Structure 1
């Protein structure tokens, strides 16, 4: 019971912290493709969905992502709310919080650090690309 309460509180806090984060994004500008030379590197592969504490029994699609901070002096903030998944039909899906057991952590990456975790969106679809946008850095990765 305490574990679920703590998890729900953490997710609610993340949602509140992120409410202004995605509203400032400019959807008319596509995120650049991830490259080894950029400050943030993103990679994405398909993965099986593993139900988390807030899974409501709906169908979900998960993608395993790795975010790497390639800078020499910049901290990169990572949050599950900073991700979206586009499917092969061109439909954009927002990440769902707490439904994926292996969800990517909310962390600040120091230079040279990386984090790996899953991002899940509601529905059954084939993921084509994942976008990471923390209002400072925008990168896109093909799901392969």
Structure 2
């Protein structure tokens, strides 16, 4: 799951410059570690260090006293982070549109027979099978109680 998340961050960072993915790997890792994870209720940074992650300040050329190379690096960083936010927002909107297109709320009347779809490789209590990948995906019929 972590690799899939890092891949998604890299896709958003890299955009059209696919060959430069290694340049953005540290930013992808930082983004993953400082993003809120609903499973643990905090960021991975906070889970490891016990405090919220530090925030990045935007680059201000007037307030800076670093050398020219660092100034260019900081300016590039702000552009990359802006592009990341833009790509993430676009991707999130696209995923929401796809979900909304196919999702529908189902309501059943009490007493109706229904089939239940369970992932056989995750739900082993319904029926143990030798090859769960090829097993039936629907179980039932079960009578709707409430």
TM superposition score category, shorter chain reference: under 0.3
Q: Which TM-score applies when normalising by structure 1? A: 0.20
Question: Which is greater in Rg?
Answer: 2
Higher helix share: 2
Higher strand share: 1
Which protein, 1 or 2, shows the higher relative CO under an 8 Å CA cutoff with sep ≥ 6?
1
Q: Which TM-score applies when normalising by structure 2? A: 0.19
